Structure 1
Amino acid sequence: MIERESLMTLSDGIRSEVPMSFTLFPGTRRTLALESLAGLSVGDALGAQYFVPGIKPADLLDARVPEPPWEWTDDTEQACCLVATLAEGDFDRDAFAALLADRFEPYRGYGPGAVVMLREIREGLPWPIAAAAAFNGQGSCGNGAAMRAAPLGAWHADSLAHAATQGVRAAEVTHAHPEGIAGGVAVSVAAAYAAAARLNGHRPDPGRLLLAAAAHTAPSVVRDGLTTSVRGGVAEAAERLGNGGQATAQDTVPFALWVADRYLDDFPAAVAACVVAGGDVDTTAAIAGGVVAAYTGLDGIPGDWLAHREPLPAWLAAASGDQSAGG
């Protein structure tokens, strides 16, 4: 086992907040969430192309991308359900569970456990029971709650604490395991931190996004990964933190957020880092892409990449009240 060096010791009272000098209105919140969703979906759809034989990750480093269309996966489908559920007040877990169960398409890449759970919810089993029963009663520690979480964090850019609290609520619908919940919380807080930095016109110093996420994440392997020192580049980060190859929150979230922290103002570089690291590429790129887009906005995403991505589902535009959401 590789020995991990901590960037810092976290105490219960530590705070890594961005000073908030803005007020968010509902329309602004939704715009922030939709822009994060755009980054998430482009990262997901482009990352998924590298599971196709013959498409070489090294090409992306030379700005050569696969031919369109880029179809998105369950990462984006679940994130669309999350964005459609966002509203003032506490995150509506019942509505989110119902929408996930109604809209999920198994061919999008859902794991067998997720398919069973969502079918059970669709057939009337309450989501707390379905989530708690997963994996022989242990609950899921998979990366599913994390891969969809960035738009929720962007929505709560005015409060990292609220992003964390609502991140727990959104994760619990499908992930009863503490590590699965921790992954969703860490990504929610990271995206909130990134969006707040953008609104404040401030590019955080390297490492600050990771510390902010760790400060609001419960003690866990996920949090340990967020505070692990990586002195080298992408290859070392993937080796020390994992690249999502196990599809757990523990081996996905720390690396994806390390990428987002390092390339916070460079969306193409963030996605390329996830691609060349291998592993669960669509999910690491979705997480990093959603967080980075919360900082850069749509202007940070190459226009041709957005055009190559499969359009988002038409039902999202109707549910979100934004006609641009399905584009």
Structure 2
Amino acid sequence: MSFTLFPGTRLALALESLAGLSVGDALGAQHFIAPVDLSDPPPAPWEWTDDTEEACCLVAVLAEGDFDRDGFADLLGRHHDPYRGYGPGAVTMLRAIREGLPWPIAAAAAFDGQGSAGNGAAMRAAPLGAWHADSLAHAATQGARAAEVTHAHADGIAGGVAVTVAAAVAAAGRLDGHRPDLLGAVIAHTPAGRVRDGLVAAARLRGPSGAAGARSSGPATAGSVRVAEAANQLGNGARAMAIDTVPFAVWVADRFLGDYPGAIAACGSAGGDVDTTCAITGGIVAAYTGLDGIPADWLSAREPLPGWLAAATTAGE
């Protein structure tokens, strides 16, 4: 990559990724109310979940230099709404942070001292990757820093790194005009372990059509059987773990990189933790397509993002 990003461009890329993440999250959450037919979407508003709330906290602290983990932890503690779909472990941790427990202690104490291996760091990570589109290595480093605020387990951190890098790859491909080998780049920058193993398995599923540029940028022709096969082998997030969420979500983003509606439809058809797979995939794909890739009626149906985010990002310009 041979381009330079200025702060305003970085923020614009991050906000477009956040738009894709939040629309995917909000539409994906509708699947838990009733089956969604994307040709006749459910009535507005589509409420977003903890995925979007945490991503908004992340975007609010983006700035030059290393990711502000203390500021991020403070926002997570202050703004988290337990009724947005947080798991009980996350509620306990974020409440403790709100009450003054330092985030490294809170994260390390989770799950009887094992740390969280869940998909929470991954679900919010895409805007951070879009911000760092000019350096995949730096994106990986910052992705780990952001994940460690709530995830002390190696799998949880690796999930955050993988999605951060995926969005950086996608945004870079948009800027340089070349469709990237998304999975290959993500594998190269994800730490060794079970998440990376899942990504390697995802790359094998691509088969001959997985070469960069060979996948359709329009609606998928492989159909639900292909998506179902991938979900069966990689997981669909039903366990809410990084290992059963991130490989599938990145596989979908890789296959549908130029087709935001197709990517969201694929995640929806797979079932499982649909709001989170749609959020991860939507954030990555929107980093590549920009706002133009997101149907305008979907964007307007999504519940408005919190007012404090607009105030924070305007102040940071």
The TM-score with structure 1 as length reference comes to: 0.89
Report the Cα distance in structure 2 between the residues aligned to 1:320 and 1:174, rounded to whole angstroms.
23
Match of 1:193 among 135, 153, 169: 169
Task: Give 5+ residue unaligned stretches, structure 2.
Answer: 208-224
Equivalent residue of 1:227, what SS? helix
Residues 70-129 of structure 1, C-alpha deviations (whole Å, 9 max, x = no match): 000000000000000100000010000001000000000000000000010111100000
1:178 is the counterpart of 2:151: no
Partner of 2:214: none
Partner of 2:3: 22
Report the Cα distance in structure 2 between the residues aligned to 1:276 and 1:139, rounded to whole angstroms.
31
Report the Cα distance in structure 2 between the residues aligned to 1:74 and 1:56, rounded to whole angstroms.
21
Residues 152-201 of structure 1, C-alpha deviations (whole Å, 9 max, x = no match): 00000000000000000000000000000000000000000000000001
Q: Which amino acid aligns with 1:56?
A: P
Partner of 2:257: 264
1:163 is the counterpart of 2:144: no
Partner of 1:250: 243
Q: Which amino acid aligns with 1:68?
A: A
Partner of 1:42: 23
Match of 2:196 among 219, 223, 229: 223
Identity of paired residues, percent? Answer: 76
Partner of 2:90: 114
Equivalent residue of 2:308, what SS? helix
Q: Which amino acid aligns with 2:141?
A: T
1:90 is the counterpart of 2:66: yes
Q: Structure 1 residue runs of 4+, over 4 Å off? A: none
Q: Which amino acid aligns with 1:71?
A: E
Equivalent residue of 2:232, what SS? helix
Partner of 1:12: none
Report the Cα distance in structure 2 between the residues aligned to 1:286 and 1:301, rounded to whole angstroms.
13
Q: Which amino acid aligns with 1:153?
A: G
1:151 is the counterpart of 2:109: no
Partner of 2:281: 288
Partner of 1:273: 266
Aligned residues: 297
Partner of 1:32: 13
1:211 is the counterpart of 2:184: yes
Q: Which amino acid aligns with 1:301?
A: I
Equivalent residue of 1:88, what SS? coil
Report the Cα distance in structure 2 between the residues aligned to 1:322 and 1:36, rounded to whole angstroms.
20
Match of 1:238 among 222, 231, 234: 231
1:307 is the counterpart of 2:300: yes
**What is the CA distance between 1:322 and its match in structure 2?**
7.4
**What is the CA distance between 1:296 and its match in structure 2?**
0.2
Report the Cα distance in structure 1 between the residues aligned to 2:315 and 2:251, rounded to whole angstroms.
32
**What is the CA distance between 1:21 and its match in structure 2?**
2.8
Report the Cα distance in structure 1 between the residues aligned to 2:182 and 2:302, rounded to whole angstroms.
28
Partner of 2:115: 139
Report the Cα distance in structure 1 between the residues aligned to 2:187 and 2:61, rounded to whole angstroms.
26
Q: Which has the higher helix share?
A: 2
Report the Cα distance in structure 2 between the residues aligned to 1:146 and 1:164, rounded to whole angstroms.
12
1:316 is the counterpart of 2:309: yes
1:72 is the counterpart of 2:48: yes
Report the Cα distance in structure 2 between the residues aligned to 1:68 and 1:234, rounded to whole angstroms.
27
Report the Cα distance in structure 2 between the residues aligned to 1:65 and 1:274, rounded to whole angstroms.
15
Residues 237-273 of structure 1, C-alpha deviations (whole Å, 9 max, x = no match): 0000000000000000000000000000000000000
Equivalent residue of 1:233, what SS? helix
**What is the CA distance between 1:22 and its match in structure 2?**
1.6
Report the Cα distance in structure 2 between the residues aligned to 1:68 and 1:309, rounded to whole angstroms.
7
Report the Cα distance in structure 1 between the residues aligned to 2:96 and 2:245, rounded to whole angstroms.
27
Report the Cα distance in structure 2 between the residues aligned to 1:315 and 1:56, rounded to whole angstroms.
32
The TM-score with structure 2 as length reference comes to: 0.92
**What is the CA distance between 1:233 and its match in structure 2?**
1.4
